[in-house]
Structure 1
Amino acid sequence: MFKTIIFTVLGISMFIGTNYANSFKNETVTDYKVANHTLWNTLLAKHVDSEGNVDYASFVADKADLEIYLELLNKNTPDDNWSKNEKLAYYINLYNAATVKLILDNYPLKSIKDINSPWDKKWVLIGGKKFSLGSIEHKILRKMDEPRIHFAINCASYSCPKLINTAFLPSTMEEQLEAATVDFINDTTRNKITEDKVQLSNIFKWYKSDFTDNGSLIDYLNKYATSRASNDSKISYLKYDWGLNQAR
């Protein structure tokens, strides 16, 4: 068993490409003692470009690897000894990986909204218990007092924040959340901010309370926006594009 564990862990760190799933098909997931995000990072680098476009057609071939990663997370759940950043990395990566799997399970399709109740069905395993994507977002991530998670999790749609092509890691969590927030707020395809006119993503409408604990919505935007809005700027919301986040 000791040799098997060593062989398995080495295999994870050295994996490149789709041979991973086949080479470990006889191993049990319970041999893993520490969940890590190496495999998810590899899959993101392979199938997601720098603009957040996902090549779902090629990702289908690596679906087995994605399922292995999700099962690793299922078997290695956060406990009270985990730091906040370790928990954030776990749940952000879980949400994003599960969303990709949901798309792959139903691919080809034009929008995640073509799937019946995509955020309400309980199917994502955490410690053997089934959760919905919605419950991971609203009952876990949003309760962690970190509004920037809204720019890190991806709903497989064009108007969502980009799916970045690296995994979120505890050691780089602050830098990654900050970068994702700056990128989203200043992305003119998602938000248009000038001194007297502010057109925002509906994310700021749906989750306004998450951004206004310590001030107004304009206050929050001005922390990150390259073009600052005045306090009396008129706010409106842009149409949300639910088209699948793949290259057009």
Structure 2
Amino acid sequence: MRRIILTVLLAGAVGAALTAFVAPKPGPERTTTAAPIDHATYDRLLKKYVNDKGLVNYKAWKNDQQELNQYLDQLSKNPPATGWSKPEQMAYWINAYNAYTIKLILNHYPVQSIKDIGSKIKIPFVTTPWAAEFFRIGGKKMSLDDIEHGTLRKKYDDPRIHFALVCASISCPRLRPEAYTADKLDRQLDDQGRDFLNNPSKNKVGKESAQLSKYFDWYKGDWNLNGQSVTKWVNKYSTTKLGDNANISYLGYNWNLNEQ
């Protein structure tokens, strides 16, 4: 009898967890030919509050949020339109992810880590800040997970986004002190890849062995798409090239805030 009761309780718990889990939603898209938005305001703010190491002056930015709020309002009201090019759409969503992450930190600052911002509802899969629907785009409630997993990873098939999305943590890629724009996007993403792979605090690459960022473990499926592999992506950007039989392990992840 105890075994039967326990089985029922476990089944109920798993069922509740699965019911509570909501898969990331794709971002909205307008069926118009509206022009892409201008990211110049966001670009100025990044240059003002982010240094060349990608660290953010959250303390100062906390007291000067008017322009950021105006930019986020612009993003909220102007989701990508069907007439936008792929680079225009990707630049929009990458900027949106990073800008809303900054806003999330500012909403709760001071914090030591983005992971300190958790849901009060202790339900599996929805207890992280990335699952919180704290903004709207095109009138649709969205989360950071919706942008990353429901839109960028799902729609655009470009693993380089992992070099550009910044989760406000030390082990994340460097937050670029400029906005992403369609005309520079390809170069910016490649530059982020070189910066990330050749930063010994994030990746330690040798010819016969490497200690890589957890990004290459967490998103292994992305790096293996289209005949690629983790080794091929590393060698695309690292100045030291991995051998075919190199031993790969993964570094621990530092979730401390990327703060100046």
Same fold (TM over 0.5): yes
Written as runs of structure 1 = structure 2, the 5 A alignment for 1:1-248 is: 35-116=37-118, 117-143=128-154, 144-213=156-225, 214-247=227-260
Q: CA deviation at 1:171?
A: 0.7
Cα distance in structure 2, aligned partners of 1:215 and 1:76: 35
- Encode CA deviations 1:120-164: one digit per residue, 9 max, x unaligned: 011221101111101110010112111100000100000000111
RMSD: 1.3
Q: CA deviation at 1:216?
A: 2.4
Cα distance in structure 2, aligned partners of 1:173 and 1:228: 25
Aligned residues: 216
Question: Retained in 2: the 8 A contact 1:212–1:220?
Answer: no
Q: CA deviation at 1:35?
A: 2.0
Whichever residue aligns with residue 41 of structure 1, its letter is: D
Instruction: State the percentage of identical aligned residues.
Output: 45
Question: Retained in 2: the 8 A contact 1:124–1:133?
Answer: no
Question: Retained in 2: the 8 A contact 1:74–1:128?
Answer: yes
Q: CA deviation at 1:195?
A: 0.6
Cα distance in structure 2, aligned partners of 1:146 and 1:200: 19
Task: Please state whether the residue corresponding to 1:198 is helix, strand or coil.
Answer: strand
Cα distance in structure 2, aligned partners of 1:69 and 1:57: 19
Cα distance in structure 2, aligned partners of 1:206 and 1:34: 32
TM-score scaled by length of structure 1? 0.85
Structure 1: gaps spanning 5 or more residues: 1-31
Question: Retained in 1: the 8 A contact 2:165–2:173?
Answer: yes
Whichever residue aligns with residue 205 of structure 2, its letter is: I
TM-score scaled by length of structure 2? 0.81
Cα distance in structure 2, aligned partners of 1:33 and 1:122: 27
Cα distance in structure 1, aligned partners of 2:66 and 2:35: 20
Question: Retained in 1: the 8 A contact 2:35–2:84?
Answer: no
Q: CA deviation at 1:79?
A: 1.4
Question: Retained in 2: the 8 A contact 1:168–1:176?
Answer: yes
Note closer, same or farther for the CA distance 1:223–1:33 as it changes in structure 2 (3 Å cut): closer
Note closer, same or farther for the CA distance 1:81–1:45 as it changes in structure 2 (3 Å cut): same
The worse-fitting range, judged by mean Cα deviation, of 42-51 and 211-220 is 211-220
By relative contact order (CA 8 Å, sep 6+), the higher-ranking structure is 2
- Encode CA deviations 1:175-220: one digit per residue, 9 max, x unaligned: 1001001110111100001011110000110001111112321122
Instruction: State which structure, 1 or 2, has the greater radius of gyration over its C-alpha atoms.
Output: 2
The worse-fitting range, judged by mean Cα deviation, of 58-67 and 134-143 is 58-67
Question: Retained in 2: the 8 A contact 1:33–1:76?
Answer: no
